[in-house]
């Protein structure tokens, strides 16, 4: 890329790594197993329906703006990448949970159409995520793209996964929230 690596770039990298470590420490471990019935139940809960509908509207708006303003404003492609990336994370957790269940002997989930729909959507979302990240890097300085993308993607992924899988429900202590917020900052 022939970009100069400055002292502040090193500081930014160290800060990002420290943030990742704090987020990992702060997020409670998953105790319950996720199967097809749980996924269907969670997909039909009101908070997820509202969140996913809002996300879909935001993606449509950003797609419309990207044609005219995508090369001018970093936030357009980064938003698209982060929105689609958060969907990828939510789907990947479902797919991986179902595959782990299949390895433990619960092969019935692999025969359900929802598993295959999720698998295809995960591939499509992953492709779109990389495509828009690539467009961001082609049009803007990577020193701006990478940290902006990291913060937006991480925030939206954790938010979306928390809304869908309710990971913080009932097991959050004050120190979890504090470490999580500090890690995001």
140-184: per-residue pLDDT in tens?
Answer: 988 888 888 888 888 898 888 888 887 766 656 666 666 666 666
pTM of the model: 0.77
Higher pLDDT, 185 or 67: 67
Average pLDDT, the chain: 84
CA separation for the pair 14, 64 (Å, rounded)? 36
- pLDDT, tens digit, for every residue of 109-136? 888 899 999 999 999 999 999 999 999 9
What value does the mean pLDDT take over residues 94-101? 88
% of residues, the chain, pLDDT over 70: 82
pLDDT(29) > 70: no
Give the pLDDT of residue 33: 78
DSSP 139-151: HS-HHHHHHHHHH
- Terminal CA-CA length for the chain: 27
CA separation for the pair 182, 180 (Å, rounded)? 6
CB 160 within 8 A of CB 82: no
Give the pLDDT of residue 26: 62
Q: Smallest Cα–Cα separation from 130: which of 77, 167, 81?
A: 81
What value does the mean pLDDT take over residues 8-20? 75
- pLDDT, tens digit, for every residue of 30-69? 556 788 888 999 999 999 999 999 999 999 999 999 989 9
């Amino acid at each position: 890329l022939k970009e100069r690596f400055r002292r502040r770039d090193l500081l930014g990298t160290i800060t990002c790594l420290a943030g990742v470590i704090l987020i990992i420490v702060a997020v409670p471990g998953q105790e319950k197993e996720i199967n097809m019935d749980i996924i269907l139940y969670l997909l039909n809960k009101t908070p997820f329906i509202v969140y996913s509908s809002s996300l879909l509207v935001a993606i449509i708006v950003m797609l419309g703006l990207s044609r005219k303003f995508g090369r001018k404003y970093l936030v357009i492609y980064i938003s698209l990448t982060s929105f689609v990336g958060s969907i990828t994370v939510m789907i990947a957790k479902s797919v991986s949970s179902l595959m782990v269940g299949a390895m433990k002997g619960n092969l019935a989930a692999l025969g359900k159409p929802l598993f295959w729909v999720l698998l295809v959507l995960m591939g499509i979302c992953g492709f779109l995520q990389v495509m828009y990240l690539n467009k961001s890097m082609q049009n803007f300085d990577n020193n701006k793209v990478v940290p902006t993308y990291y913060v937006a993607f991480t925030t939206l992924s954790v938010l979306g996964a928390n809304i869908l899988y309710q990971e913080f429900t009932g097991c959050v202590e004050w120190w979890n929230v504090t470490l999580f917020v500090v890690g995001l900052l």
